[in-house]
Chains A and B, each alone.
Chain A
Amino acid sequence: MTLTSEERTTPTESDGQPLLEARGVIMRFGGLVAVNNVDLTVNQGEIVGLIGPNGAGKTTFFNCLTGMYKPTEGSVRLAGADLPPKPRAVVTAGMARTFQNIRLFGNMTALENVMVGRYCRTSAGALTSVLRGPKFRREEQATRERAQELLDFVGLGKSTELLARNMPYGDQRRLEVARALATDPKLILLDEPTAGMNPQETRQASDLIFKIRDNGLAVVVIEHDMRFIFNLCDRVLCLVRGETLVEGTPEQVQSDPRVIEAYIGEPESEEEEAQG
């Protein structure tokens, strides 16, 4: 099973250009600077982790990347082209995401959820849908097969016809990943993919992320679970109060005293707990 569909040209690594390049991203809400001058570079086939205490601006930064917010300053480029600040255009350009609090279409079946993800890669219009010519049938069939393939890929092959809202929590997380993968992304952003999971589910999640990476996609993960992120990532970026504190390999970040301080805090501000 491959995640990259044949008709799409994947950027080759040989041109040396990074897949995602965010430069000097600043996001202000009135007087509050939520994200201050953050750079992020992601290469193809790389897993990058984004860590930081609560309120550090991780999700805001994600929203800037995916077009949910328009950054006040800075640029985001995907495969060499500027990304327009519109969620739909970002998805079409090849970057998909999941949500911190699951946002599935609860009253649709698992299969239908993934089929919605195929929307931007299919083209049947109103007239085609009413006339139901051979092209429509072929496309519908292909959509269905692809969606089933993706469900198999994330390990939900048997839950095809279940309503999303009836599925167990861990399965819902995986379904969200499948739905994001259905948009044929080059890069997938996962916002806390293991939140609320038990150790076994967490292990399955990291297996799944490796599997996605092995299919040639780049992955950016926001996470609180340090053990999870240091096992998983090639590179880790630590955000504190909207700014990049450290960037480097998991070993470098793990041993950096500033990171430990940011998490555990100085004696007088003990709001965060280290989990690693």
Chain B
Amino acid sequence: MIRIPNIPDDVRARHAGKAWPVSMAGAALLIIGSFLSWCYDDRVLGDLSIRGNPGGLQILAIILGVLTVVFLLVERGPLYRLRDWADAALAVRALGLWSLIYMVLVLIAITIEAGGLVNVNEGGWISTLGALLIFVGSRFLPQRELKNLATARLSPYAEIAIISLSMAAILFGAAYALSREDAWEFVLFLVFATGLVVGLVRSGFTTFFGHIATRNKKVLTLAAFAVAFFFPFTQQGSDANMSIATQVLIFAATAMGLNIVVGLAGLLDLGYIAFLGAGAYVAAILSGSAFATVDLTPPFWLVVIIGAVVSSCLGLIIGSPTLRVSGDYLAIVTLAFGEIFRLAMFNLDGNNGPDLTNGPNGIPGIPDLQIGNFNFGDTHTVLGVPLGRFSNYYFLLLVLIGFIILVFSRLNNSRIGRGWVAIREDERAAEAMGVNVFGLKLLAFAGGAFLAGMAGTVKAHQDGAVSPDQYIFLESAFLLAAIVLGGMGTIAGVLIGATILKLLPEKLRFFNEYRLLLFGLTLVLMMRFRPEGLVASQRRALEFHEEDEELAELIQSEHLEDVR
């Protein structure tokens, strides 16, 4: 990774006195500049030209500035009581770096969009100077010894409040990001968000948040679902973002199912998308579409069960001969199975076998779901907010994903989950201790297929059509990438990974051509620097760093603290 060289200690000591005032002045300039005009042209980047009325991008800069001020006040000032806990120096350093990157990118964006650097007004220069001052000043801030954050305690209500506020911030941020139409604004928001997250990570806030999250798991889950539930209400009936959101949820639900296979049981499945496809085809065939080949329309709950059972039967058929052999063979067989599924769907058109799938044409015209009197195609107005077709499916998928998470976490924390960990650790020892290795692997495989089948039945109705080319190997690879990127065996990680992998290409159309290149590169970098994923499960982190004694000691002490 690129590292900015540290200032030698003697130089730092000589200038330590100036570091704080310089950083503070920088933060002030960053904020003041944001209240002035950044850009002469009011048609670009959401109008940054009005003095005294900051536009969207300027508000982001103000947030960075205010956060810097807060951490500086922790370092020296009224917030001194946080001194022993928060690593203010590192946080300000990260914020300074990212503010500078942000401001430089803003200047570049103005240059490109408005046609020349000459369009940058005084505010833009002042804010950039401010960011530069923070960046330089913060590098001279002294570092201190900190207390172990695992021992930090707040009142339970304060902890719950922190969780709720963080979740609300995430909801607000997601809604804001999705409403950015302009690619530059979106990219700049991503830079801002990265800077914010890095700053919070450096300060130790995320570590602390992790501890209170483990103490208040229920609150966290509830808050997360509340946030997800309220998301459609922030969209004012616009379908554009809700369509993306439902895509993300389907992808996330499938990835969570695969996470049981990959993350918990440690099996490499490269054809998982076939199980989603099996569920989707079952739903399509039984949907009563004009193109459906079977004239049967059972109620939807029955279709879900049939789809899931068909999927898990396929899983059993593939799994029972291959799960007895070691990992690599399974990967190859599942890879082949994914292709076989696609080709079978391609060829079951009446020429080469029974007419089940209409071959390459697929089954279009799948009607919207109708549960009772509730038609998923209609727009319903709740609390004055119109909720369209995609919102309806969004809520259904939310229920599904909740169910999958429930299955995931409960299996993980049970006799079965312990068996899976034991298998991942040492398969032969597990067998010799009486763990049913084959049975547990098969359970993970078939169970994962079951959940994917469920998700598939919803996907068929939501897409309105199924065709073989939706279920290609690349989709399986992306599912796997979401898990690896997010963090194997974690819930939050995989949800984040799935969101990133599905959302970015939707929002950044221009980088669509380089999508595979960039994802490949990201995964290579992840494997090198953080193999356990963005959100690491402690157990996985340990498994990936067998030699790292320090990490083991650290996780040990945190675990002891959590148990207490």
CB within 8 Å of B: which residues of A? 66, 68, 87-88, 91-92, 96-97, 99, 103-109, 112, 115-122, 124-126, 129-130, 132, 136, 139-140, 143, 161-163, 165-166, 179-180, 183
B214: min CB distance to chain A, Å: 14
Can you sample 6 A-B contacts with CB below 8 Å? A107-B425, A108-B422, A109-B559, A129-B410, A161-B559, A161-B560
Q: Provide the residues of chain A in CB contact with B417, threshold 8 Å.
A: 129
Q: B375: CB under 8 A from chain A?
A: no
Q: Provide the residues of chain A in CB contact with B421, threshold 8 Å.
A: 105, 107-108, 112, 116
Cβ contacts B369-413/A at 8 Å (1 or 0 each): 000000000000000000000000000000000000011001100
A132 touches B433 (CB 8 A): no
Q: Provide the residues of chain B in CB contact with A162, threshold 8 Å.
A: 556
- Tell me, in angstroms, the Cα distance from A180 to B432 when the chains sit together: 9
Q: B555: CB under 8 A from chain A?
A: yes
Q: Provide the residues of chain B in CB contact with A129, threshold 8 Å.
A: 410-411, 414-417
Quick one: which of B414, B432, B542, B560 contacts A107, CB cutoff 8 A? B542
Given contacts A88-B434, A91-B434, A108-B539, list 6 more A-B pairs with CB under 8 A: A88-B431, A103-B428, A129-B416, A143-B415, A165-B542, A166-B556
Q: Provide the residues of chain A in CB contact with B418, threshold 8 Å.
A: 108, 112, 115-116, 119
Given contacts A126-B411, A130-B411, A163-B552, contact A116 B416 (CB under 8 A): no
Q: B359: CB under 8 A from chain A?
A: no
Q: B430: CB under 8 A from chain A?
A: yes
Q: B553: CB under 8 A from chain A?
A: yes
B543 touches A107 (CB 8 A): yes
A69: min CB distance to chain B, Å: 12
Given contacts A124-B416, A129-B414, A136-B414, contact A163 B556 (CB under 8 A): yes
Quick one: which of B407, B432, B539 contacts A97, CB cutoff 8 A? B432
B264: min CB distance to chain A, Å: 12
Quick one: which of B415, B432, B443, B543 contacts A68, CB cutoff 8 A? B432
- Tell me, in angstroms, the Cα distance from A119 to B546 when the chains sit together: 25
Interface residues of B in 83-111 (CB under 8 A from A): none
Q: Can you name the residue of chain B whose Cβ is closest to the Cβ of A116?
A: B422
A116 touches B435 (CB 8 A): yes
Nearest 4 Cβ contacts at the A-B interface: A120-B434, A91-B434, A129-B414, A103-B429
- Tell me, in angstroms, the Cα distance from A231 to B426 when the chains sit together: 34
Q: Can you name the residue of chain B whose Cβ is closest to the Cβ of A121?
A: B434
Q: Can you name the residue of chain B whose Cβ is closest to the Cβ of A97?
A: B432
A163 touches B431 (CB 8 A): no
A179 touches B433 (CB 8 A): yes
- Tell me, in angstroms, the Cα distance from A69 to B295 when the chains sit together: 55
Given contacts A124-B416, A161-B563, contact A105 B426 (CB under 8 A): yes
| Residue among B418, B419, B431, B556 with the highest chain A CB neighbour number at 10 A | B418
Q: Can you name the residue of chain B whose Cβ is closest to the Cβ of A143?
A: B415
Q: B148: CB under 8 A from chain A?
A: no
B436: min CB distance to chain A, Å: 6
B415 touches A119 (CB 8 A): yes
- Tell me, in angstroms, the Cα distance from A125 to B416 when the chains sit together: 7
- Tell me, in angstroms, the Cα distance from A143 to B542 when the chains sit together: 25
A116 touches B414 (CB 8 A): no
Q: Provide the residues of chain B in CB contact with A124, threshold 8 Å.
A: 414-416
- Tell me, in angstroms, the Cα distance from A180 to B431 when the chains sit together: 12
B419: min CB distance to chain A, Å: 6
Given contacts A112-B421, A163-B542, A163-B555, contact A120 B411 (CB under 8 A): no
B433 touches A180 (CB 8 A): yes
Q: Can you name the residue of chain B whose Cβ is closest to the Cβ of A93?
A: B434
Given contacts A105-B429, A116-B419, contact A88 B410 (CB under 8 A): no
Q: Provide the residues of chain B in CB contact with A179, threshold 8 Å.
A: 433
B419 touches A119 (CB 8 A): yes
A263: min CB distance to chain B, Å: 30
- Tell me, in angstroms, the Cα distance from A69 to B434 when the chains sit together: 16
Given contacts A105-B429, A140-B415, contact A119 B434 (CB under 8 A): yes
Quick one: which of B431, B434, B447 contacts A126, CB cutoff 8 A? B447
- Tell me, in angstroms, the Cα distance from A118 to B555 when the chains sit together: 25
B552 touches A166 (CB 8 A): yes
- Tell me, in angstroms, the Cα distance from A124 to B432 when the chains sit together: 20
Q: Provide the residues of chain A in CB contact with B426, threshold 8 Å.
A: 103, 105
Q: Can you name the residue of chain B whose Cβ is closest to the Cβ of A98?
A: B432
B257: min CB distance to chain A, Å: 14
B425 touches A88 (CB 8 A): no
Q: Can you name the residue of chain B whose Cβ is closest to the Cβ of A63?
A: B432
Cβ contacts B37-60/A at 8 Å (1 or 0 each): 000000000000000000000000
Q: Provide the residues of chain B in CB contact with A118, threshold 8 Å.
A: 415
B433 touches A116 (CB 8 A): yes
Q: Provide the residues of chain A in CB contact with B563, threshold 8 Å.
A: 161
B406 touches A130 (CB 8 A): yes
Q: Provide the residues of chain A in CB contact with B542, threshold 8 Å.
A: 106-107, 163, 165
Q: Can you name the residue of chain B whose Cβ is closest to the Cβ of A117?
A: B433
B492: min CB distance to chain A, Å: 20
- Tell me, in angstroms, the Cα distance from A163 to B433 when the chains sit together: 19
Q: Provide the residues of chain B in CB contact with A120, threshold 8 Å.
A: 433-436
- Tell me, in angstroms, the Cα distance from A99 to B429 when the chains sit together: 9
Q: Provide the residues of chain B in CB contact with A115, threshold 8 Å.
A: 415, 418
- Tell me, in angstroms, the Cα distance from A99 to B421 when the chains sit together: 19
A192: min CB distance to chain B, Å: 16
- Tell me, in angstroms, the Cα distance from A132 to B415 when the chains sit together: 12
- Tell me, in angstroms, the Cα distance from A117 to B433 when the chains sit together: 6
Given contacts A163-B542, A166-B553, contact A183 B411 (CB under 8 A): no
A165 touches B552 (CB 8 A): yes
A200: min CB distance to chain B, Å: 25
Interface residues of B in 514-564 (CB under 8 A from A): 539, 542-543, 546, 552-553, 555-556, 559-560, 563
Q: Provide the residues of chain B in CB contact with A88, threshold 8 Å.
A: 431-432, 434-437
- Tell me, in angstroms, the Cα distance from A53 to B88 when the chains sit together: 63
Given contacts A107-B542, A126-B411, A130-B407, contact A119 B435 (CB under 8 A): yes
Q: Provide the residues of chain A in CB contact with B443, threshold 8 Å.
A: 126
- Tell me, in angstroms, the Cα distance from A117 to B422 when the chains sit together: 10
- Tell me, in angstroms, the Cα distance from A66 to B431 when the chains sit together: 11
Given contacts A106-B425, A126-B447, A130-B411, contact A116 B430 (CB under 8 A): yes
- Tell me, in angstroms, the Cα distance from A99 to B435 when the chains sit together: 16
- Tell me, in angstroms, the Cα distance from A68 to B429 when the chains sit together: 10
Q: Can you name the residue of chain B whose Cβ is closest to the Cβ of A89?
A: B434
- Tell me, in angstroms, the Cα distance from A117 to B434 when the chains sit together: 7
Cβ contacts B150-191/A at 8 Å (1 or 0 each): 000000000000000000000000000000000000000000
Interface residues of B in 185-217 (CB under 8 A from A): none
A108 touches B425 (CB 8 A): yes
B542: min CB distance to chain A, Å: 4
Q: Provide the residues of chain B in CB contact with A106, threshold 8 Å.
A: 425, 542, 546
Q: Can you name the residue of chain B whose Cβ is closest to the Cβ of A86?
A: B431
Q: Provide the residues of chain A in CB contact with B414, threshold 8 Å.
A: 124, 129, 136, 140
Q: Provide the residues of chain A in CB contact with B447, threshold 8 Å.
A: 126
- Tell me, in angstroms, the Cα distance from A122 to B437 when the chains sit together: 15
Q: Can you name the residue of chain B whose Cβ is closest to the Cβ of A162?
A: B556
Q: Provide the residues of chain A in CB contact with B555, threshold 8 Å.
A: 163
Q: Provide the residues of chain B in CB contact with A105, threshold 8 Å.
A: 421-422, 425-426, 429-430
- Tell me, in angstroms, the Cα distance from A121 to B435 when the chains sit together: 10
